[in-house]
């Protein structure tokens, strides 16, 4: 049994997380002896003579360590330990059972039911000191883990808050980017223009659009900025301003005429001008591919310039698919780059299709890309579909090809379906 003299001789354990000890023993003398020695070592000591008293004390003032006799007047040590562990607490409490040698085998069972350690009676001062030191180390580690867990939870909560704010901003950015393409379907007297723009994330680097030149001509553009996400989307917004369909005086492709109308620069000159602007005025590591086209609604003639964008396709009325263009350099890579032009004449029933590389580079679950042949097969399968239905069907086929995985790149497209211009015939 620990005596007051022995307690004085013992070194005081390093005070830290183990400060409050609850003694649970029916013997007032045993509690007095242990309490005196623990108080000499700097501990705050609580006492209880039964399990019910101990549980009530714990509910009001949870200790850091419990020293409990195995035999209590109202509950066995095992049942008391079980009820104690069921109490709510914001920190872990170390539980030590005091037992006689004859009860040792039973106490070992308690270690499986919530007890942390046990001491044989009479209590040896050296052994008690060692147990307290071990409990201090374990509680310290447990508190450190709890604190780190709290910090992680607080950090996760902050990240969720920031994520929600960013997501809110990205949703607004997505709505803004969609607003850059005001009309997805545009009807002309002798044709229909359909536009598609689907981002792989909230926002993307693809942009498609059109602008009016005069009563019988309009411009088309398809742009794919390198990279993904916010920075690419910001670049598309900047480029949309250069080719605005609403602020025509800001559109670099249009030239004011003396009669108050507008004419258009040749497509290759517009791209060369954008290349200069991009390299001289915009500080960015991005570049972009592009197709700029001028469509004459009377003749069906289309003038185009290609800057690294996938080749435009023409599907003739009979179903034949023609590939146009020679490729060209992306915009924003080489100062003073030259861009050429090419022309195609659409006949009634023909359609012009301009798609981003998100289509031909769409991978299947094995990583094999759709490629040009796969794209042509899809176009032939959708030959009877028109306008928005054709583009929706194309997007659906791409997702079907990709399987369960999401299409990894932005997908955008322009479809112009040409019909006979009756007004020209009447003239």
Helices 267-281 and 229-242: angle between axes, nearest 10 degrees: 130
How do residues 361-384 score in pLDDT, each as one tens digit?
A: 999 999 999 999 999 999 999 999
Please report which confidence band the pLDDT of residue 24 belongs to, taking 50, 70 and 90 as the band edges: very high
How many CA within 13 A on the CB side of residue 111? 11
How much of the chain, in percent, has pLDDT values that exceed 90?
46
- Residue 48: per-residue pLDDT: 93
How far is 67 from 88, CA to CA, in rounded Å? 19
Summarised one tens digit per residue, pLDDT across range 157-173 is: 998 888 787 777 667 66
Phi-psi region of 46 (alpha: psi -120 to 50; beta: other; left: phi over 0): beta
Nearest residue to 248 (alpha-carbon basis) of 282, 213, 218: 213
Q: How confident is the model at residue 271 (pLDDT cuts 50, 70, 90)?
A: very high
Question: Which of 55-64, 126-135, 344-353 comes out lowest in average pLDDT?
Answer: 126-135
Architecture of domain 180-426: 4-Layer Sandwich (3.60)
Burial of 220 per CB tally in 10 Å (0-12, 13-18, 19+): buried
Global pTM reads: 0.65
More confident residue, 312 or 174: 312
What is the structure's pLDDT at 173? 62
Q: For residue 97, which phi and psi values (nearest 5 degrees)? A: -95, 135
**Across 215-219, 228-232, 254-258, 362-366, least confident range:** 228-232
Provide CATH code, domain 4-145: 3.40.50.2300
Residue 356: pLDDT over 80: yes
For residue 179, the model assigns a pLDDT of: 65
pLDDT surpassing 60 at residue 15? no
What pLDDT, in 10s, does the model give residues 400-419? 999 999 888 888 999 999 98
Phi and psi at residue 284, to the nearest 5°: -160, 155
- For position 231, what pLDDT does the model report? 76
Rounded to 10 degrees, the C-alpha dihedral 85/86/88/92 comes to: 20
Count how many Cα atoms sit within 13 Å of the Cα of residue 357 in the half-sphere of its side chain.
17
Give how far Cα 154 sits from Cα of 90, 142, 164, 166, Å. Answer: 16, 18, 15, 18
> What's the CA gap between 238 and 240, in Å, rounded?
5
- Domain boundaries along the sequence of the chain: 4-145, 180-426
């Amino acid at each position: 049994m620990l005596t007051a003299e022995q307690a004085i001789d013992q070194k005081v354990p390093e005070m830290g997380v183990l400060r409050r000890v609850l003694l649970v023993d029916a013997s007032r003398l045993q509690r007095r002896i242990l309490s005196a020695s623990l108080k000499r070592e700097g501990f705050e000591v609580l006492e209880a003579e039964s399990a019910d008293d101990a549980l009530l004390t714990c509910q009001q003032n949870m200790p850091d360590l419990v020293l409990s006799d195995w035999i209590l007047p109202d509950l066995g040590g095992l049942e008391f330990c079980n009820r104690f562990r069921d109490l709510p607490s914001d920190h872990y409490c170390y539980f030590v059972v005091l037992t006689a040698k004859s009860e040792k085998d039973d106490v070992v069972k308690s270690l499986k039911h919530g007890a942390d350690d046990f001491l044989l009676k009479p209590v040896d001062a050296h052994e008690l000191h060692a147990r307290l030191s071990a409990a201090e180390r374990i509680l310290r580690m447990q508190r450190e883990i709890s604190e780190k867990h709290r910090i992680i939870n607080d950090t996760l909560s902050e990240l969720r808050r920031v994520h929600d704010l960013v997501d809110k901003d990205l949703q607004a950015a997505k709505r803004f980017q969609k607003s850059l393409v005001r009309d997805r379907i545009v009807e002309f007297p002798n044709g229909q223009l359909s536009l598609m723009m689907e981002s792989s994330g909230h926002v993307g680097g693809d942009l498609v659009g059109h602008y009016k030149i005069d009563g019988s001509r309009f411009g088309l553009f398809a742009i794919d900025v390198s990279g993904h996400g916010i920075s690419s989307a910001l670049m598309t917004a900047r480029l949309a301003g250069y080719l605005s369909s609403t602020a025509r005086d800001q559109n670099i492709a249009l030239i004011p005429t003396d009669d108050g109308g507008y004419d258009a620069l040749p497509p290759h000159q517009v791209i060369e001008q954008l290349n200069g602007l991009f390299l001289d005025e915009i500080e960015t590591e991005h570049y972009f591919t592009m197709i700029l086209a001028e469509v004459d609604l009377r003749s069906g003639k289309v003038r185009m310039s290609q800057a690294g964008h996938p080749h435009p396709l023409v599907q003739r009325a009979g179903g034949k698919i023609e590939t146009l263009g020679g490729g060209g350099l992306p915009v924003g890579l080489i100062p003073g780059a030259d861009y050429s032009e090419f022309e195609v004449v659409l006949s009634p029933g023909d359609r012009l299709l301009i798609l981003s590389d998100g289509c031909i580079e769409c991978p299947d679950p094995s990583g094999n890309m759709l490629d040009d042949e796969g794209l042509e097969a899809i176009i032939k399968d959708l030959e009877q579909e028109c306008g928005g239905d054709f583009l929706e069907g194309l997007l659906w086929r791409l997702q079907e090809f990709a399987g369960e995985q999401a299409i990894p790149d932005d997908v955008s497209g322009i479809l112009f379906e040409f019909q006979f211009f009756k007004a020209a015939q009447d003239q």
